[in-house]
Amino acid sequence: MPIKNAEGNVIGVSQLLNKKDKTAFNKNDEHLFEAFAIFCGLGISNTQMFESTKKALAKQSVALDVVSYHAIAPVEEAQRLKRIPVPSVGELNLRDLKFDDFLLDDDGTLRACIRMFLDLGLVDKFHIYYEVLCRWLLSVKKNYRPVTYHNWRHAFCVTQTMYALLTTGKLRRLLSDMEVLSLIIGCLCHDLDHRGTNNQFQIKTMSPLAQLYSTSVMEHHHFDHCVMLLSTKGNDILSNVNQNDYQYLISLIEHTILSTDLALYFRFRGEVFDLINKGQTDWTDFEHRKKLQGIMMTACDVSAITKPWDIQKKVAELVASEFFEQGDLEKTELHIQPIDMMNREKKSELPKMQVGFIDGICLPVYEALAKVSPHATELLEGCKANRENWQSAYESRGLATQQKPMETKSEGKTEPMSGSKKNRLGKFGPSCTLN
Which residues are annotated as catalytic?
150
CA angle 91, 292, 212 (to 5 degrees): 100
The amino acid at residue 114 is I
Phi, psi (rounded to 5 degrees) for 386: -70, -30
The CA distances from residue 184 to 68, 114, 170, 189, 253, in Å, are 22, 11, 15, 9, 9
Phi and psi torsions of 97, nearest 5°: -70, -10
Question: What single string gives the DSSP state of each residue in 257-290?
Answer: HHTT-HHHHHHHHHHHHHHHHTT---TTSHHHHH
DSSP for residue 405:
P
Q: Give me the amino acid identity at 303.
A: S
Looking at residue 171, its amino acid is L
Quote the longest CA-to-CA distance of the chain: 122
Separation in Å, CA 91 to CA 80, 87, 115, 376: 21, 6, 11, 22
Question: From residue 100, how far is each of 130, 165, 317, 377, 388 by CA, in Å?
Answer: 26, 15, 16, 18, 21
Close Cβ partners of 42 (under 8 Å, ≥ 6 residues apart): none
Q: How far apart are CA 309 and CA 383, in angstroms?
A: 10
Distance CA 381, CA 395 (A): 21
State the DSSP H helix or E strand holding residue 371, giving kind and residue range, or none if neither: helix 363-372
What is the distance between the alpha carbons of residues 146 and 157, in angstroms, rounded to a whole number?
16
CA separation for the pair 192, 295 (Å, rounded) = 20
Torsional class of 74: left (φ above 0), alpha (ψ -120 to 50), beta (otherwise): beta
